[in-house]
Structure 1
Amino acid sequence: MSPNRPFVPFFVFFLCVCTSFQCPKNEYESHLGTKTAYRTVANYNSSEIKYDGCQAVKLWALIRHGTRNPSLALIQKMRTRLAEIKELILENLPEGTDEISNIDLDLFRSWTPKLRDKDEKKLTHEGEEEMLFLAERLQNRFPKLMTNIYSSTLYKFKYTHSQRTKKSAEAFAAGLFGRGAVRDIEFPEPVKKDPVLRFYKLCEKWTKEVKKNPEAQAEMKKFHSGEEAAKTVKAVNERLGLTDEIDLSDVHAMYMTCAYETAWNKRKRSPWCSALSMDDFKVVEYGEDLKYYWIDGYGHELTYGQACKALNDLVEFFQSNETFPKSTIYFTHSGTLLKMLAHMGLYKQKKHLIADDFHLNGNRTWRVSQIDSFGTNLVFVLFDCQDEPKILTLHQEHIVRLPSCADSDLCTMTQFMDYYDTDSECLFDQMCENST
């Protein structure tokens, strides 16, 4: 069920109507990998979306949880290694330089890691706001599908077995119906290996040959051991008044901490962002893109082929003769969104993303900072049109044109079904070589 036709180029415009704290204040804020704040990619134009002779009748959405806390490993590294590096910086830079200002040094002096082990991966306040405002904008765009009065007949919500998706779903519901109505929402009991929301957890071959296979990270490792990464480590050491006290893993921890603290706080700059130049950000970002390309993207056909589980759910919902529910909204994770984007043929490179092509890929389409930020969402809307049913696709709230119908916003159901070969069975257990 994975698309195997040549990729048809299309254009996506990440246009942001800027007001206070919405758009990036600094260029690096748009280069923070999968931990990029959603506000840097969101579409704030929430006017109702209408097409002549068509009526929106169903909506199906995959939504990544909002901004969260880091993993346990990074929380612990913040408390230990980054705390040590902070002291080295303040010891070696008693006053500001051309690259590290006195304001940055003051931020380092006041920086203290506050997260505890039990806080790992929990949704943050910013993550709740992302979901709440996303719901409000989608409701404005499709008011007949997303009413502000809750009914279990009109809506189907579901989240994975995690605190961050549960809280994201609740915040999203609050955006639609008000906070007081959340307790009345019917959420089904989540399962650890949901066949639609986390299908890859059930794919034995993918787990063995991709997820847990060191060879799947060969391009990222090659890039990390190459000249560009070495130049970055040297440049960061020099910027911080050090010699060779920090290595690439330290630089990566700074980058990730900068990303998280930027996502958490619209108003306050993280001191760790000052440790990297824009060239450094782009180098570390490329390593992140290589990682996710080969684990969750186009690197292996099985990776995106297995997303037929999610696509089948979409098709069955749109083809159902049942009038209700009007909206099916799933809350899930980065791995699901990236595999689904690749399954749909979006953001496909003309050739595989590899370590040696860093300088050739400045304008690459596979850039997780843009396509897989916190709060990433992929929305399909079925329109009942005068000639035949048609599908509208939105990613990060922007209309995107699928390769199956690159000349129009609306893809006819026939074009959609033919291109993605949805008549054939999704042989999930067969492709995954599952033992049971």
Structure 2
Amino acid sequence: MVDEKQFCQVGKAAYVRIHGGVRRWHPAIILSLVTTASILALRLCGLGPTLLPITLLPVPAHHQNFELYRHLGHLSPFFVPPNTPESLDSGVPPACTISKAFLVHRHGSRHPHADELDIIQDLSYYINNNSALFSNPHAEIPDGWTFLTEGWNASFGTDDLTAPGRQQLFDHGVELRLQYPELYTETNVLAGDEDRVVESARWFMDGYYRRDSNSTARLDIVGEDEDTVSWITPHQTCAKWNTSYGDDVVSEWRAVYLPPIAKRINRILSKAYPDVNFTAAHVHGMLFTCAYGTSVHGVGSSPWCPVFLPKEVMQNEYESDLRMRGFSGYGLPGEMGSVLGSLLVSNMTAFLQQDTGAKLSFGFGHDKTIALGLTALGLAADKSYPPTGPVNPDRSWRAAKQMPFAANMLFKRLECAEEDRVQLTLNGANFDLGPIGCESDEFGSCAFEDFLSTTKVQAAMNVTHGDERWKSACSLNES
């Protein structure tokens, strides 16, 4: 058995070799390699506030001051963003305690959807069908592209939760238990009936409760189909909604930003590979592979991420924002977005108004769940979102910040000296509720009664599935 002194000597030696080496390595957390326990243990050895293990790939010069993994849109690995706006204070207002909280949680990092995998595989087919080209360069291969000489295969599944995804949810369960011990609740946990969502909920429960969580709290699974009314997937019972919403604007933007990237890549590879001909579609596959290589194998593991310039990554991020806005946000026709998101808002407000019962409500769903909730509340709204650019770098709707993998909204009711208040923490950062129509403080919180009386919240609370507003937004017979 290794004693504490020996453990720390080994840990410090490894730390020096990693961070004092000749090459600079990207300091990112490889969740599949380093456990929470080992990080905490090494902190005790005086290795600083956070141990940052190496990634698999060195950082290219153009990414030295660029946080690439915070710009992968809704496919970003979980991170804690700045407060919104950044001027907000963190924490809760003084003289306030949290009495109840309503948690909305997205599933963790996953494998690609089938249609996304098709795009990735087309890239793989092109590379492997041209193995003679890539294995026999005519000149020195540009930095970052040597992996092409051995071919490249798309080793992904479809839809399932990944190892980093499992870690994200377990860690979030632990963090919630430690951060809000006063809210500890043995209650039922709600999850949408999708494998990755159910598994995410179970990993969270293991972190929050313990390994035998099923004996402490029951997992209730709610259908994700056109017959089951649910605030987790309200779009499923909206006949007019379909996944193609937003496709037109996304296609417009792809036609703008992808061809120049393909042209740049072909140009820099042309000396080594004179016949290279990566298309805009191939570039789209490269960008998906960067995101899903990260999702499956961890930050820094995909050889495709370093080949892009920061501006190209951010152009792809805008595609993600357009996509999420188009099929689960303000880009939906008419009132559809706010009507669908109203089910989340009405369930949240009903829970927070209860003076008895459980202190915590747990619900697990998708990125759309969070996006629709924001839309119903009028949060993260932008006046203009042009599908052909220019891209507003200060836009409010940012999928990477608001709905990355393992995203979570925590609505908190606060008991304060003067009055009860309500606060939203989105992905661990305070999010100003003022745009809803109530007067917010420096922590982003509003007086609870003022929040409930705003036009947005009242409208959401008064929507019932199948009522006139619902029919107007969702009925195929309505124009």
The TM-score, its normalising length taken from structure 1, stands at 0.81
Is 1:252 the counterpart of 2:284? The answer is: yes
Structure 1 range deviating more: 59-68 or 69-78: 69-78
Offset, 1:41: 4.3
Q: CA 1:315–1:251 in structure 2 vs 1: closer, same or farther (change >3 Å)?
A: same
Which residue among 52, 57, 76 is the counterpart of 1:36?
A: 76
In structure 2, distance between residues paired with 1:247 and 1:192? 37
Q: CA 1:299–1:55 in structure 2 vs 1: closer, same or farther (change >3 Å)?
A: same
1:220-239 matches, within 5 Å, as 220-226=250-256, 228-239=257-268
Offset, 1:247: 2.1
Match of 2:14 in 1: none
Match of 1:131 in 2: 169
Spell out, residue by residue over 1:208-245, the C-alpha distance to the aligned partner (whole angstroms, 9 max, x if none): xxx445xx43322222223x332122113224446672
Q: CA 1:75–1:217 in structure 2 vs 1: closer, same or farther (change >3 Å)?
A: closer
Offset, 1:354: 0.8
In structure 2, distance between residues paired with 1:320 and 1:40? 30
In structure 2, distance between residues paired with 1:106 and 1:230? 23
Offset, 1:83: 4.1
Letter in 2 for 1:234: K
1:5-16 matches, within 5 Å, as none
Which residue among 281, 289, 311 is the counterpart of 1:279?
A: 311
Which residue among 99, 105, 112 is the counterpart of 1:63?
A: 105
In structure 2, distance between residues paired with 1:71 and 1:222? 22
1:206 alignment partner, SS class: coil
Is 1:197 the counterpart of 2:232? The answer is: yes
Match of 2:362 in 1: 329
Letter in 2 for 1:418: S
| RMSD of aligned Cα (Å) | 3.1
Q: CA 1:160–1:425 in structure 2 vs 1: closer, same or farther (change >3 Å)?
A: same
Offset, 1:274: 3.3
1:83-94 matches, within 5 Å, as 83-85=125-127, 87=130, 90-91=134-135, 93=137
Q: Which structure 1 residue ranges, 5 or more long, are not aligned?
A: 1-15
Offset, 1:114: 3.0
Q: CA 1:240–1:277 in structure 2 vs 1: closer, same or farther (change >3 Å)?
A: farther
1:375-386 matches, within 5 Å, as 375-386=406-417
Match of 2:378 in 1: 345
1:342 alignment partner, SS class: helix
2:324 alignment partner, SS class: helix
In structure 2, distance between residues paired with 1:33 and 1:239? 27
Offset, 1:368: 1.3
Q: CA 1:286–1:239 in structure 2 vs 1: closer, same or farther (change >3 Å)?
A: farther
Offset, 1:65: 0.2
Q: CA 1:356–1:389 in structure 2 vs 1: closer, same or farther (change >3 Å)?
A: same
Contact 1:54 1:386 in 2 (8 A): yes
Which residue among 411, 415, 419 is the counterpart of 2:450?
A: 415
User: Paired residues, what number?
Assistant: 396
RCO greater where, 1 or 2, for CA within 8 Å and sep 6 or more? 1
1:121 alignment partner, SS class: coil
Structure 1 range deviating more: 372-381 or 137-146: 137-146
Q: CA 1:21–1:202 in structure 2 vs 1: closer, same or farther (change >3 Å)?
A: farther
Letter in 2 for 1:172: F
Contact 1:82 1:254 in 2 (8 A): no
Q: CA 1:95–1:415 in structure 2 vs 1: closer, same or farther (change >3 Å)?
A: farther
Contact 1:61 1:329 in 2 (8 A): yes
Contact 1:239 1:275 in 2 (8 A): no
Q: CA 1:126–1:389 in structure 2 vs 1: closer, same or farther (change >3 Å)?
A: same
Match of 2:439 in 1: 405
1:233 alignment partner, SS class: helix
Q: CA 1:32–1:92 in structure 2 vs 1: closer, same or farther (change >3 Å)?
A: farther
Q: Which structure 2 residue ranges, 5 or more long, are not aligned?
A: 1-28, 30-48, 84-89
1:405 alignment partner, SS class: coil
1:399 alignment partner, SS class: strand
Spell out, residue by residue over 1:305-343, the C-alpha distance to the aligned partner (whole angstroms, 9 max, x if none): 32111100011111124x221111110001111111222
Q: CA 1:375–1:92 in structure 2 vs 1: closer, same or farther (change >3 Å)?
A: farther
Offset, 1:96: 5.0
Match of 1:114 in 2: 155
In structure 1, distance between residues paired with 2:98 and 2:194? 32
Q: CA 1:212–1:71 in structure 2 vs 1: closer, same or farther (change >3 Å)?
A: closer
1:38 alignment partner, SS class: coil
In structure 1, distance between residues paired with 2:287 and 2:231? 32
Bigger Rg over Cα: 2
In structure 1, distance between residues paired with 2:149 and 2:399? 28
Spell out, residue by residue over 1:126-180, the C-alpha distance to the aligned partner (whole angstroms, 9 max, x if none): 1111011112222222111036xxx3xxx23110011111111111111112223
Is 1:355 the counterpart of 2:387? The answer is: yes
Q: CA 1:221–1:212 in structure 2 vs 1: closer, same or farther (change >3 Å)?
A: closer
Match of 1:6 in 2: none
